Amino acid sequence: MVATIDGAARGNPGPAAYGIVFEDAARHAKARLAGRLGKTTNNVAEYRALLAALAYAHQQGWRALKVRTDSELLARQVQGDYRVKSPDLKPLHEEAHKLISGFDYFVVEAVPRKLTRGADKLANAALDKRSAISRQPSAKMRSPAASPEPSRRAPAAGTIRIRAVYQNGVLKPVESLDLPDGTEVELTVHPPTKG
């Protein structure tokens, strides 16, 4: 399976989103994913696109994945050619490698921007809050939200990490959130650090 990914941020940081197009070896589209990420940087958005692609591929049970991105930084960092210096990218890089280790075959390659236009279109549609995903997806090409299984939870593809502080009975996000009404939130509580 081939995943063409793109992360986009309007401003750096600014409102951000990702888009992903999955294709089989014959270049038939199998799935299209997009998600909004709130306010972040372009590099974080690129990593979030990668993480969403990896999570979705695992969810589908695919054992081999090729990722195409127009971010040379992301490709080189994942390949191990560049060190990850940014504190914002280090945990995303580590999470990506954990997911990558679950594949029998994985490769990431940097490609010219013209080859990621489909993913870019999805990311920009998410930023504009409009759908670039077919309203009536076929059985072979379905957005995760269009699943016919009512009890199925939304995939981790749209998962983002939100830091928050609990004070006086109220959970306060550390950064501004740009989530649509009805967004399901799962919390993991870490004890406060001393020091």
Structural domains for the chain: 2-131 (3.30.420.10)
DSSP string, 67-122: EEES-HHHHHHHHTSS----TTTHHHHHHHHHHHTT-SEEEEEE--GGGGHHHHHH
pLDDT digits (tens, 9 = 90+) for 10-28: 988 999 999 999 999 889 9
* Rounded-to-integer distance, Cα 139 and Cα 149, Å: 12
Determine contact, residues 9/46, Cβ cutoff 8 Å: no
- In the block, tokens 């090729």 appear at 66
Q: Which two tokens stand for residue 41?
A: 């940087």
pTM of the model: 0.68
* Rounded-to-integer distance, Cα 30 and Cα 52, Å: 15
Nearest to 65 by CA among 74, 75, 56, 73: 56
- For residue 131, the SS3 value is coil
pLDDT digits (tens, 9 = 90+) for 69-103: 999 999 999 999 999 999 999 999 999 999 999 99
